[in-house]
Amino acid sequence: MRLIWTSVISAIWMAIGLLAAIESGRAQSVASYRCADGTHFIVGFYPQDARAFLQIDGGEVTLARRLALSGRRYSGAGVMLTITKDGRTLIRHARRPATVCETL
């Protein structure tokens, strides 16, 4: 009887651990930004993925992470997103100059 009880408790803990691992895999960070030039965009980051997922100008763009000396830089499809170590966010897209953005 004790062996069955121990097996049941172990199975429950393993199921809880599995569910926690699945949920942590889905965890993401999403933020909305408004820029000085009037641009609005939404960016999402997933912990298991080095890319940034951006919604800008009515479309979706996936940005690859690039080498940056200070902070993080992502680019792709004519869009460049830079997040500096001090928390400033800049975006350049559609052949416009880079502009500073703030979270909404």
Kindly give the pairing relationship between strand 89-93 and strand 79-83: antiparallel
Residue that wins the pLDDT comparison between 80 and 19:
80
**Considering only CA atoms, which of 19, 65, 28 is closest in space to residue 47?**
28
Q: What percent of the chain has pLDDT over 70?
A: 76
**Which pLDDT score is estimated for 90?**
96
Residue 74 domain boundaries: 28-103
DSSP code for 37: T
Which DSSP state fits 97?
Answer: P
Question: Mean of the per-residue pLDDT values for the chain?
Answer: 85
Specify the CATH number for the domain of residue 64: 2.40.128
Q: SS3 of 1, please?
A: coil
Around Cβ 102, how many Cβ atoms within 10 Å?
A: 11
pLDDT tens by residue, 53-95: 999 988 999 999 999 998 999 999 999 999 999 999 999 998 8
- Total domains in the chain come to 1
